[in-house]
Amino acid sequence: MPELTPDLRALLTFLSLPPIPMLIVIVLGTLLVRRRPGWSRGMLCLGVLSLWLFSTEGMAQWLSLHVLRVPPALSEAQAQALRRQNAESHDVAVLVLGGGAAEMAPEYDRAELKQLSMERLRYGVWLAKRIGAPLGFTGGPGWNRTTPDMTEAELALRTVQEYGFKLRWVENQARDTRGNANYSVPLLLDDHIRTVVLVTHGFHMPRTLQNFERVAQGRLEFVTAPIGLRADAMSEVGDWLPSVGGLERSRYAVREWLALQVSH
């Protein structure tokens, strides 16, 4: 199967994610009002109801828990066990996956990591200090960047240096999650690492773990340290009211589910 071009990939992704499919159903239902009134009513109800649901925090949380099966946050007991292991054998690493970069941030007048990447990097630095393990970052130019003067990993290196920290591994070739695994696993194995703490957002963790386990083939142990989790987003009335945040989280969940189906 030929590789999709970046533009076609972006278009197909756009058409697949909420609210676009729901809006298409609503438009089709509207066009069928006179010709097929029964079909029209059904499509309009389906479109409006699904648009409502996929715009709520409750649906986003349900998708995360029951469709993606996002793992829980790293516990204190796990962190302490990792700290003891690394103190004894020095074979633990914290690896942060990039989440995008902006070619130009006007406030800095230079390229910078996007918010998702910064959130992951911040937690990765904090976690590396907490368990006393070295830190790595994986992220290349990405598919959508046209002038990759600095890759995500190079931007991350600059960022942590500005805050007085350092990266032991800077993997700057990967364009996607599959590439993150393909390029990072050999680096870690060459450095005699045996346990890798993966840091990314919760919605992205199942695909991340799938790809890294595929490449490692049992040669590495992976510990998940997801961020951006919600303790509870299904029990309050407000959790089932539409919001921008709810729609955004639902989009991420659907995107990750689709990516898992094609193992990308």
Assign residue 90 the CATH number of its domain.
3.40.50.620
Q: How many CB atoms lie within 10 A of CB 14?
A: 9
173 and 46 in a common domain: no
Q: How far is CA 242 from the centre of its chain?
A: 22
| 101 in any annotated domain | yes
User: Domain residues for 42?
Assistant: 6-68+240-261
Mean per-residue pLDDT, 104-122: 95
Instruction: Assess whether pLDDT exceeds 50 at residue 221.
Output: yes
User: Residue 142: what pLDDT?
Assistant: 73
Which single residue is written with the structure tokens 């993150």?
Answer: 180
Query: Tell me: the pLDDT tens digits for 43-98?
Result: 999 999 999 999 999 999 999 999 999 999 999 999 999 999 999 999 999 999 99
pTM of the model: 0.92
User: Residue 6: what pLDDT?
Assistant: 75
15 and 110 in a common domain: no
98 and 219 in a common domain: yes
Instruction: Assess whether pLDDT exceeds 90 at residue 147.
Output: no
CA-to-CA dists, residue 174 to 53, 95, 181, angstroms: 35, 14, 8
| 179 in any annotated domain | yes
163 and 138 in a common domain: yes
Instruction: Assess whether pLDDT exceeds 70 at residue 1.
Output: no
CA distance 25 to 44: 7
CA distance 238 to 177: 34
Q: For the chain, how many structural domains are there in total?
A: 2
Confidence of residue 229 (pLDDT cuts 50, 70, 90): very high
Instruction: Assess whether pLDDT exceeds 50 at residue 146.
Output: no
Instruction: Assess whether pLDDT exceeds 70 at residue 145.
Output: no
